[in-house]
Amino acid sequence: MTKPSDLPPPPRASQKPHSYERHGVTIDDPWAWLRDANYPQVGDEEVLDYLKAENAYFDAAMAPHKELLDTLFAEMKGRLKEDESSVPVKDGDWLYWWAFEPGAQYRRWFRKLATGGPDELIFDEPTEAEGKDYFRLGAMEVSPDGKLAATLVDDNGSERFKLRIRDLATGEELETVTDVAIGSPVWSNDSKAVVFTEVNENWRSYRARYHRLGADPADDVTLYEETEELGFSVGVGKSQDRSLIFIATGDNATSEVRFVSADDPSQPLVLIAARKEKREYHVDAAHGKLWVVTNDTHVNFRLAQADPADPGNWTEVIPGSDRVYLRGATSYRDHLAITTRIDGLDQLILRTYSGDETRIPFAEASYSAAFGGNPEFTPATYRLGYSSMVTPGTVYDYDPASGELEVLKVQEIPSGYDASQYETDRLLVPARDGKQVPVSVVYKKGFERNGEGKLFLYAYGAYGHAIPPSFNSNRISLLDRGWACAIAHIRGGDDLGYDWFLQGKLQQRTNTFNDFVDAAKGMVAEKFTRPGRIAINGGSAGGELMGAVANSDPELWGAVVADVPFVDVLNTMLDDTLPLTPGEWPEWGNPITDAQAFEYIRSYSPYDQVKRQPYPPMLITGGLNDPRVTYWEPAKWAAKLREYKTDTNLLLLKINMGAGHGGKSGRWERLHEVAETYAFILTQVE
């Protein structure tokens, strides 16, 4: 185990007086200088020197464990099929799929005629990524006539994508529409125009535009621009029957949708229903009707239908339910494909337009399942994905006529995997306020529940984003070393319904942190582990969780890994010039105008609540180009922890100097970062 005493002194960021006053409270922030004044350009030499020094310290700390790191990486890589490929998806006359070549970091995208014929390479990511430190294909949408593709590419991690039009027959890039696109573009039905969204200088998706191929992009028509709410984001999509283009605006609590004919997107937009605070609705179209999923009358959403000529008049089809959480509905020719969740478990339902419902059956008691890969309006079968904590990812086609599930592909583990050697449980752990928090756990058979085991505990807990109990081949490296791995389905996610999400936001945010601590204590009570032998991990808002529980209950944790952590919550929520701040106020509160929100955020903001106390070993990561959690949040937090902590445990900060929120972009580079996380916890938890 590497100890700080084995290393040169860690970097120390200097403190420079900086303070401000809000709501009669003075906030001192002596590490505020780590934010480059010219951000998103970062050129301040003092800032860069500090980040480089932290990276050098990280390298020095990990160097003695190179053999372990290499072993972990080799294990993880050995579980991935080097020439992995997707199951072909039919769309019109073509079958589309992607494939890796052995050793390649990036995918190649192919198609061939459904009636037979040669494979056609339509996008070669390895070639496009050559010579670049970062590469991400954000979207590729093929035109209805099959001749062109609209692609979005980010080559620096900033999530400002270049939208280009490609001739699929020749591979030629015909034109660049914009350098600041985001999301996924939508084609007009005549294949002669695209509708797309752009971000502004503050990285906010603020408008939808219409571009006719060959026209000067400067003359593109703005179909909709959000001007009323700084925090709303604009997105575009197409109905499953391909008749309409939807343009939506909203945040994580409120939405508003317009539509226009996909035959002529230049026509005036039709508003479905004006925004109403804390009302969400999502829309599809089929059979001359709009199909609306909304939480207007029930927290767990209901399904309604409407006439496009009177789109705001909604007639109920499926009422809201306290038990059944309606998460989405897609309207195909013969069925509504409905996704629900009951008691935290995914349910996939096909409903005919006459009201007959069929639930697709799954045998395991705990699993994750979702519809996916069904682009056509009239599929004969429905594609879906499935996995569990012990069952590798499986792709099925479900035949509604026969009721049979056909296995198309099971995730291969080239180095070998025997599911019968592992067990999974789903526990209900009591939280301090009486709620029951689900915890999904997996371990190798023979794991002794004697209170001495080692546990790797993961959670997220924000934005209504559930963490499913799905398969992850990387965790086998921990399971085979005698660890148990668990996911805490805490409030803030929507694992147990939309209200589970609401109970972890705004003035109830600390429920999320308490749930996680109580889940860990529950695993101790269940004899899986003991305090000090629990390694924890979370990223982004889950990194905020890591910071909060490291402050509140440091003695519980044997190691903490916080990836791109949102830890400078108060300062970020007070700065409405930052990319995401206005859109985040419905999640955390607005401390600029609300003194109560200011005090509540200050009471848990991990950076503000760092104490003079012992902390467990900690690994903190960030990305210099990250527009979501800016690099200075993990940097400031690490600097303050170094100054305040009273222990001799290892504290490491690693900043990816050429990447963004998702870390490095190649599949092996990403895998190496997972291996670093595992090497850190394996060497720190005794």
Q: Out of 540, 608, 665, 672, which one is annotated catalytic?
A: 540
Sheet holding 534-539, edge to edge: 422-430, 436-444, 483-488, 454-458, 534-539, 557-563, 618-623, 651-656
30 and 15 in contact (C-beta within 8 Å)?
Answer: yes
Q: Out of 251, 626, 665, 672, which one is annotated catalytic?
A: 626
How far is Cα 254 from Cα 333, in angstroms, rounded to an integer? 29
Check if 388 is active-site: no
How many Cα atoms sit within 13 Å of 519 on the Cβ side? Answer: 31
Nearest one of 433, 587, 596 to 511, comparing CA atoms = 433
- Residue found by looking up tokens 């969740």 in the block: 341
Check if 83 is active-site: no
How far is Cα 632 from Cα 655, in angstroms, rounded to an integer? 10
Q: What Rg, from alpha-carbon coordinates, does the chain have?
A: 25
Nearest one of 446, 463, 396 to 628, comparing CA atoms = 463
How far is Cα 297 from Cα 321, in angstroms, rounded to an integer? 10
DSSP string, 113-159: ETT----EEEEEHHHHHTT-S--EEEEEEE-TTSSEEEEEEESSSS-
- Residue found by looking up tokens 């999923």 in the block: 293
- Residue found by looking up tokens 């000090």 in the block: 532
Check if 298 is active-site: no
Element (H, E) at 642: helix 632-644
Q: Which residues of 404-416 are buried (b: 16+ CB within 10 A; e: fewer)?
A: ebeeeeebebeee
The number of beta carbons lying within 10 Å of the beta carbon of residue 378 is 9
Which residue type is seen at 426?
Answer: R
The number of beta carbons lying within 10 Å of the beta carbon of residue 118 is 7
Q: Is 367 exposed, middle or buried (0-12, 13-18, 19+ CB in 10 A)?
A: buried
Q: Residue 238: beta bridge partners?
A: 245
Q: Which residues are catalytic?
A: 540, 626, 661
